[in-house]
Homo-oligomer: A and B are copies of this chain.
Amino acid sequence: MTSRPARATISDVARAAGTGKTSVSRYLNGELDILSPALKERIAQAIAALDYRPSQMARSLKRGRTRLIGLIIADITNAYSVEIMCGIEAACRDYGFTLLMCNTNNELALEQYYIQLLSSYQVEGIIVNAVGMREEELGRLQQSRLPMTLIDRKIADFDCDVIGLDNHEASEKVTRHLADNGYTALLFISEPIGSVNTRRERLETFRQTIAACPDVEGENAEIALHQTSELSLCLKDFLHRHRHQRCAIISANGPLTLQVVKELQAQAVVTGTDAGLVGFDEMNWSSLVGSGITTLKQPTHQIGYRALQSVIHRIKHPDAEKTEQFFSGELVVRGSSQPL
């Protein structure tokens, strides 16, 4: 057939409109008040006739601004990350940026690959949702003095823009809610804390809150996400040791909550009645399981949106003070934390 019709270029438009490239360029860039109506009209027609669309590639090359933002997500399978992404995406549209989304799948090699990639496309900034990402890599990331905003998680010893949940407030809400509902033995489960500030802060506040409740005991466990047998033992042990008390579990994130629920079901423990359960992160199935699972819901969309605003700010003001913004979570109470 007709072979490739070959994209129209600005020169084609100029020729078709009987003018020079400059005027077309001006037209494209909104300098309309400087063009005669007649010329504007001709250009408009030419553009329409040729179905012309300017090449971002050429534009970026020339201006040195790609309007590209890189997003590095450690686990796109995590609904939390997806929601964050939607917020970022919305902001990108509002501010005229395009998102290059990279899922590192929690693999180091992929992460390196993607950092290279983003760099080669000259993204103007990057947002990192490093759920599960190890410290060193984040550090490496920041070496390339690229505007960067962290979501949810900080890097130790590196001062960087951060957007996330107010973990202290959230953790206090959760803990106090269980205490208020009569649970007296609390287990806080998280993935290995390492130096992940999010996990540490949630745990710390858990402890502090417990300390303020004389009749409530608390302990914590660190379990890797897929160590199901460890999780199984841990829960069994906890519930057994405290079998004469009202037990409750706090799970530090969504994926972990999924594992906990599976395990509790396997042990035929009825949430709410036999043991309380509250999980950080709201999930679409939260209301479905048993009598529903009480969760701490994060304002994910807002967090994502603000994260983009944050990188943009950094792009414009590379040397401004670093900022941290923390948002309140909302406790969504369901059956799993109601004794009756």
Contact = CB atoms under 8 A, between A and B. Distances in A.
Interface of A: 1, 4-5, 7, 53-58, 60-61, 66, 76-77, 82-83, 85-86, 89, 93, 98-101, 103, 105, 110, 113, 116-117, 119-122, 145, 258, 261-262, 265, 283-285, 287-289, 318-319
A38 to B, nearest CB: 27
The 9 closest A-B pairs by CB, nearest first: A285-B285, A101-B101, A56-B120, A57-B61, A57-B60, A56-B121, A53-B120, A288-B289, A53-B119
A89 to B, nearest CB: 6
Nearest to A118: B98
A15 B48 CA distance: 45
Contacts of A110: 93
Contacts of A120: 53-56
A180 to B, nearest CB: 27
Contact of A76 (B85, B93, B289): B85
Given A1-B319, A89-B103, A99-B101, A57 B122 contact: yes
Copies, count: 2
A284 B86 CA distance: 20
Contacts of A7: 122
A167 B287 CA distance: 30
A259 to B, nearest CB: 10
A86 B262 CA distance: 25
B55 A58 contact: no
Contacts of A93: 110, 113
15 contacts: A1-B319, A57-B66, A57-B122, A61-B61, A76-B82, A82-B82, A93-B113, A98-B100, A99-B101, A258-B288, A261-B288, A262-B287, A262-B288, A285-B285, A289-B289
A98 B66 CA distance: 16
Contacts of A116: 53
A245 to B, nearest CB: 26
A1 B1 CA distance: 59
A1 to B, nearest CB: 7
A289 B287 CA distance: 10
Contact of A288 (B53, B145, B288): B288
Contact of A121 (B86, B98, B103, B119): B98
Given A5-B145, A258-B288, 11 more contacts: A7-B122, A54-B120, A55-B122, A57-B57, A57-B122, A86-B103, A86-B105, A93-B113, A98-B121, A261-B288, A285-B288
A48 to B, nearest CB: 14
A58 B110 CA distance: 24
B82 A121 contact: no
A57 B265 CA distance: 53
